[in-house]
Structure 1
Amino acid sequence: MSKILVVDDQPTNWLIVRRLLQDEGHQVTVAKDGAEGLLQAKQTQPDLIVCDWMMPVMDGLEMCRQLKADPDLATTFFILLTARDAITDRIRGLDAGADEFLSKPIEPNELKARVRAGLRLRQLTQDLQAQKQALELELAEAAEYVSSLLPPQLTGTVTTAARFIPSRQLGGDCFDYYWLDSEHLLIYLLDVSGHGLRAALPSISILNLLRSQSLPGVDFRQPHEVLKALNETVQISHQDDTYFTIWYGVYHQSERRLTYASAGHPPAILLSGSGAKLKTERLRTPAVPIGMFTDLQYASASCEIEPASTLYVFSDGVYEIEPDQEQAWGLDAFVDLLMTHAPASPFSWDQLLQAIQTVNGKNTFDDDFSLLKIHFS
Structure 2
Amino acid sequence: MFKILIIDDDPTLRVALKRTLQTQGYDVTVASNGEEGIAQAKQIRPALIICDWLMPDLDGLEVCHRIKADPELETTFFMMLTAREADPGEEDSLIVGLNKGADDFLSKPINNKIEELKARVKAGLRLHLLNQKLQALNHDLQTQKQVLQVLNQNLQTQKQILEAELTEAADYVRSLLPSPLTGTVTTEAIYRPCTQLGGDCFDYYWLDDNHLALYLLDVSGHGVGSALLSVSILNVLRSQSLPNTNFHQPSAVLKALNNSFQMSDHGEKYFTIWYGVYNRLKRQIAYTTAGHPPAVLLSRTSTKTLQVKQLGFSGLPIGILPDEDFEEKYSDIEENSTLYIFSDGAYEIQQFDGKIWGNRALIEVLTDCHQTDDSNVYQVLHEIQRATCTDIFEDDLSLLKVYFS
Shift of 1:325: 3.2
> 1:182 is matched with which residue?
209
SS in 1 for 2:353: coil
> 1:211 is matched with which residue?
238
CA distance in 1 between partners of 2:311 and 2:217 (Å): 15
- TM-score, normalised via structure 2 length: 0.61
Partners of 2:190 and 2:377 within 8 A in 1: no
Partners of 1:271 and 1:343 within 8 A in 2: no
Partners of 2:337 and 2:404 within 8 A in 1: yes
CA distance in 2 between partners of 1:122 and 1:343 (Å): 59
- Of 286, 301, 306 in structure 2, the residue corresponding to residue 278 of structure 1 is 306
Q: Percent identity?
A: 52
CA distance in 1 between partners of 2:356 and 2:152 (Å): 40
Question: Matches of residues 28-47 of structure 1 in structure 2 within 5 Å?
Answer: none
CA distance in 1 between partners of 2:372 and 2:266 (Å): 40
Q: Which amino acid aligns with 1:281?
A: K
Q: How many residues align?
A: 258
Shift of 1:141: 0.6
- Of 316, 325, 329 in structure 2, the residue corresponding to residue 297 of structure 1 is 325
Shift of 1:184: 0.4
- 1:127-171 CA-to-partner distances (Å, cap 9, x unmatched) read 221111111111111101001010110000110000010011100
> 2:401 is matched with which residue?
373
Q: Which amino acid aligns with 1:224?
A: S
CA distance in 2 between partners of 1:346 and 1:185 (Å): 25
CA distance in 1 between partners of 2:319 and 2:339 (Å): 27
Partners of 1:323 and 1:359 within 8 A in 2: no
- 1:215-242 CA-to-partner distances (Å, cap 9, x unmatched) read 0110101000000000110112211111
Structure 1 residues 161 and 250: alpha-carbon distance in aligned structure 2, compared to 1, 3 A threshold? same
> 1:193 is matched with which residue?
220
SS in 2 for 1:327: coil
Structure 1 residues 254 and 227: alpha-carbon distance in aligned structure 2, compared to 1, 3 A threshold? same
Partners of 1:344 and 1:375 within 8 A in 2: no
Q: Which amino acid aligns with 1:282?
A: Q
SS in 2 for 1:188: strand
Shift of 1:344: 7.0
Bigger Rg, which one: 1
> 2:177 is matched with which residue?
150
Tell me if 1:168 matches 2:195.
yes
> 1:329 is matched with which residue?
357
- 1:281-305 CA-to-partner distances (Å, cap 9, x unmatched) read 1101332100000111112100100
RMSD over aligned Cα, in angstroms? 1.7
> 2:120 is matched with which residue?
none
For structure 2, the residue ranges without an aligned partner over 5 or more in a row are 1-146
- TM-score, normalised via structure 1 length: 0.66
Which stretch shows the higher mean deviation, 325-334 or 260-269? Answer: 325-334
Partners of 2:166 and 2:196 within 8 A in 1: yes
SS in 1 for 2:212: strand
CA distance in 2 between partners of 1:349 and 1:262 (Å): 22
SS in 2 for 1:341: helix
> 2:378 is matched with which residue?
350
Structure 1 residues 347 and 339: alpha-carbon distance in aligned structure 2, compared to 1, 3 A threshold? closer
> 1:116 is matched with which residue?
none
Structure 1 residues 283 and 171: alpha-carbon distance in aligned structure 2, compared to 1, 3 A threshold? same
Partners of 1:310 and 1:343 within 8 A in 2: no
SS in 1 for 2:264: coil
CA distance in 2 between partners of 1:233 and 1:223 (Å): 15
Partners of 2:377 and 2:399 within 8 A in 1: no
For structure 1, the residue ranges without an aligned partner over 5 or more in a row are 1-119
> 1:23 is matched with which residue?
none
Partners of 1:245 and 1:290 within 8 A in 2: yes
> 2:279 is matched with which residue?
252
Shift of 1:362: 2.9
CA distance in 2 between partners of 1:343 and 1:251 (Å): 24
SS in 2 for 1:374: strand
Shift of 1:342: 1.0
Which stretch shows the higher mean deviation, 343-352 or 169-178? Answer: 343-352
Tell me if 1:269 matches 2:269.
no
Structure 1 residues 126 and 279: alpha-carbon distance in aligned structure 2, compared to 1, 3 A threshold? same
SS in 2 for 1:152: coil
> 1:229 is matched with which residue?
256
Q: Which amino acid aligns with 1:367?
A: D
Q: Which amino acid aligns with 1:301?
A: K
- Of 260, 269, 287 in structure 2, the residue corresponding to residue 242 of structure 1 is 269
Shift of 1:183: 0.2
- Of 342, 356, 364 in structure 2, the residue corresponding to residue 314 of structure 1 is 342
CA distance in 1 between partners of 2:401 and 2:390 (Å): 23
Q: Which amino acid aligns with 1:325?
A: D
CA distance in 2 between partners of 1:154 and 1:287 (Å): 30
SS in 2 for 1:161: strand
